[in-house]
């Protein structure tokens, strides 16, 4: 299973685990109000890193997912 974008962001040094948790709490608050926003966007809005770093993390996640699909297809 490909890594979650939050784990990738932490590995790249874009945010700390504590900052990720803060973003997850914010996401939960929004869900409680009937709203949904991706965690990456919330973290960008909180000012932890620029949008470009989120885009890089999402690209890495897509590459990992594609590699996993390829590996499963080869079985």
54-65 average pLDDT score:
96
Q: How confident is the model at residue 2 (pLDDT cuts 50, 70, 90)?
A: confident
Residue 74: alpha-carbon gap to chain centroid: 28
Q: How far, in whole angstroms, is CA 9 from its chain's centroid?
A: 6
- Domain tally, the chain: 1
**Domain ranges, residue 36:** 5-73
Residue range 24-31: average pLDDT?
98
For position 74, what pLDDT does the model report? 80
Q: What is the mean pLDDT of residues 61-75?
A: 90
- Calpha distance 20→26 (Å, rounded): 10
Q: What is the mean pLDDT of the chain?
A: 95
């Amino acid at each position: 299973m490909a890594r979650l974008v939050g784990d990738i962001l932490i590995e790249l040094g874009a945010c700390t685990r504590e900052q990720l948790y803060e973003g997850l709490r914010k996401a939960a608050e929004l869900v409680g109000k009937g709203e949904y926003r991706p965690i990456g966007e919330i973290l960008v809005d909180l000012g932890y890193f620029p949008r470009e770093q989120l885009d890089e993390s999402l690209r890495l996640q897509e590459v990992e997912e594609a590699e996993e699909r390829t590996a499963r297809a080869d079985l």
